[in-house]
Structure 1
Amino acid sequence: MNGVYPPATVFPAEPVLAERYGASRSLVNRAMQVLAAEGMIRPRQGRGTMVTYIPPMLHSPARYSREAREGGQARGAFDAEVRAAGLEPQHEITTERAVPPDDVADALGLARGEENALVRRRRLLASGIPVRLNASWFPLSIAEGTVLEEEGPVIHGGVKSALAELGYTQTEATERIIVRPPTDAEADALEISPERTVLDIFHVGRTEGGQAVEVTTTVTPAHYLVIENTFPLS
């Protein structure tokens, strides 16, 4: 946490730590297990033990501003946040036309049970450390045949800037955030212990006329985010 062992670097081997601290190998091994359970380190086959601690990123409405998501030619808010932490953002992206889950269909005003949406699924990494699982859903009537359907990151600014270029500038968003255990598939994709907790964020973006044009779901280990909101009081 003090930066002695930076994120994405190789953590010292157990014999080295045992000698450095005058401790037994069994004690060092137990300490390594605790660090791994807390998400601080992660063994990698053939690569040693990697430091996976990343200082928590601030999650606030300000991250969605055009300035925040496009600054320095970033491809969205995540890119800008990871680069600010001194790490390299990486994207693993697939796109497909699909039947949206009922809650997504309802939020977008689409009929349930029909293939009427485009989804961009993304595993987002910071210098090789998996930190987010995102799925962005759009009405097919808006996204079909556009840059949103292409594999790989979209233009700088991410999907919100892409939608704005298509004439669907978002002026309002709603987020629902819950804390829960990860599914087995999520734990594998995020390379975390199933005992860890994740934040499940359901984000709906709307245009000035109130039309919902984007639903993005985000699953991330809870220790990677700090949630902060400012709101008026009467």
Structure 2
Amino acid sequence: MALKGLIFDMDGLLLDTEKLYCKANLTIAPKYGITTYDESYYMKYVGTSDEELYEAYYQDFAEFGRENIEGFIKEAHEEVKALFLAGKAELKPGAIELLDYLKEQEIPCVVASSNLRSFITILLDKAGITSYFSGVISGEDVKRAKPDPEIVEKAASMLQLAPKDCLMLEDSFNGVIASSEAGVPVIMIPDLLQPTPEIKERTLEVFPSLYDVKNYLAE
């Protein structure tokens, strides 16, 4: 493919953050009496925006009371932020090698993440990779989060490229769908969830790591 620009997801793709979110939520939820929060519930919302996630909390955990839900959200947010500031989110294998390759090839890169811009800034900074990206589109920059294609469309626009001339790297189902709907070819590098046949059909390739993406682009 004639690659002219690359769009990166962040959580679970560039950085091993999903396990940190999951562990924090599983630890804190019971403190507020929310006894039905488990790993399978967390998996349902991988790749969604905080706004949509919190809406789901208020609906799904209504029986535990709004005050408890608010307490859970606030404490979990602060716990995750502390982990990020402490540099606990590790880069995924092959991330630096891929970013260095793209820099050498003068292929511009942007981040398109449903996360909060403040968290994106902290994570990229702590990982020492901010300089590799010419811009960031966060969940706060769009009206509709993934799987809506808006965030991917804005990322392609930021690169000043047609969707077909970009490549998106994603780990989540929602991200793959968003890329596909935006007309941007997408490679999936699964994190917590392996692709279903339907998701796989939407991808250009599915690779186990970012090392494989670098090798694929270098061929």
**TM over 0.5: same fold?**
no
Query: Which protein is richer in helix relative to its size?
Result: 2
TM-score by length of 1: 0.29
Query: Which protein is richer in strand relative to its size?
Result: 1
TM-score by length of 2: 0.30
Which structure would you say has the larger RCO, counting Cα contacts within 8 Å and 6 or more residues apart? 2
